[in-house]
Amino acid sequence: MTLPVAIAGLGSYLPANVVTNDDLAKEIETSDEWIRTRTGIRQRHVVAQDEATSDLAASASKAALADAGLGIEDISAIVVATTTPDHPVPGAAPLTAAALGTEVAAFDVNAACSGFIYGLRVGGAMAATGDGAVLVVGAETLTRVVDPQDRSVRVLFGDGAGAVVLVPDDTASLGPFDLGADGTNPSMLWTAAGGTRTPVTDVQLEERSNFLTMRGGDVYRNAVVRMTASAQAVLDRSGQTVDDVDLFVGHQANVRIIDAVGQRLHMPAERCHITVDRHANTSAASIPLALADARAAGRLEPGATVLLAAFGAGLTWGACLLTWNPTAGDRGANR
């Protein structure tokens, strides 16, 4: 099933502060060589002291609105995909809406690193069924939820946000989608304490279980299997093959995962867009950030068929196809 929905605008925001692998090696026992060879990451953007997720989401949203040639008054709902809201309660979306100056429906989607694809599915359905233009944002501040002393996790993550404006358009197609979740083994990638099962007390602070932890090898293997299967499922559902795909934008966690998924799909490496070297893993923000990066690099031509695939904590996974900007000429400001 595809949705009659087009992406009318795309925007992104990266905090100004860039932290290199060598910078981290001054604080924890790691090295540029280890990080680069294991993950492909060279640097990451890190929020300023006074920045949080809704600030990043609002900045990316403003850029997406400007790109679409629309104002906030044209938007009927805001979906923020995030696993790192400003506060445990409320979600980041109402705060983002307030920063943008609107009182429309605003809610978070928490599907970890797969969140942006889940957000496209939900926001796309709203746009297709009478809600008009919907902002879908992926925004994260992962550097605030990792243990600064835990080298196995700290080096992997960065902060940032990307946003799209979805508009109803009978000539466009968003999808098909494939979404899935397996919650039987959440400790593979989780924050053990700080929720309703294990509130934070001195014990958790002592154990440092209020920080994100991951069994990297297990996550890696699951990511490759699930992302490949999900991407293949949407290709099969659409009756298309890898040859029809102009650009593959996978969740940017580790360049080796993207390479392995690309190889299993028989996707030529030059059609796989990579940003993890510069952005590190920005969870739900990584795909819209990579789309914006691909367009800036001239890799996202109007009419291009784009395949998205992601995997994250939960476990969750998802993939979808979209046609890039098929009616750009009708929307003035859009490129």
Residues labelled catalytic: 113, 251, 281
Q: Which is nearer to ligand UT7, 43 or 283 (CB)?
A: 283
Where in 158-217 is the site for ligand UT7 (CB under 6 A)? Answer: 216-217
Q: Which member of 2, 11, 19, 30 binds ligand UT7 (CB under 6 A)? A: 30
Convert residues 239-268 into a mask of x (bound to ligand UT7 by CB under 6 A) and - (unbound). --------------xx--x-----------
Residue 50: exposed, middle, or buried by beta-carbon count in 10 A (0-12, 13-18, 19+)?
A: exposed
**226, 232 contact by CB (below 8 A):** no
- The nearest distance, CB 279 to ligand UT7, in angstroms, is 12
Our finding on whether 151 is near ligand UT7 (CB under 6 A) is yes
Decide if residue 39 touches ligand UT7 (CB under 6 A): yes
Q: Which of residues 206-225 bind ligand UT7 (CB under 6 A)?
A: 216-217, 219-220, 223
Could you tell me if 69 and 82 are in contact, meaning their C-beta atoms sit under 8 angstroms apart?
Answer: no
Site map (CB under 6 A) of ligand UT7, residues 92-131, x = contact: ---------------------x------------------
**If we measure between CA atoms, which residue out of 287, 289, 300 comes closest to residue 250?**
287
Closest contact distance (angstroms) between CB of 320 and ligand UT7 is 18
Cβ closer to ligand UT7: 96 or 281? 281
Q: How far is the CB of 104 from ligand UT7 (least distance, A)?
A: 30
Name the residue number minimizing CB distance to ligand UT7. 216
Give the closest residue to 81 by CA, choosing from 294, 274, 308, 260.
308
Number of residues this chain uses to bind ligand UT7 (CB under 6 A): 21
- Segment 278-297, which members bind ligand UT7 (CB under 6 A)? 281, 283
Structure tokens at 15: 């905090």
Q: Is 87 exposed, middle or buried (0-12, 13-18, 19+ CB in 10 A)?
A: exposed
Type of residue at 119: G
CA count, 13 A, side-chain hemisphere, 254: 22
Rounded distance between C-alpha atoms, residue 257 and residue 301, angstroms? 25
Distance, CA of 315 to CA of 214 (rounded, Å): 12
Smallest distance from ligand UT7 to CB 70, Å:
31
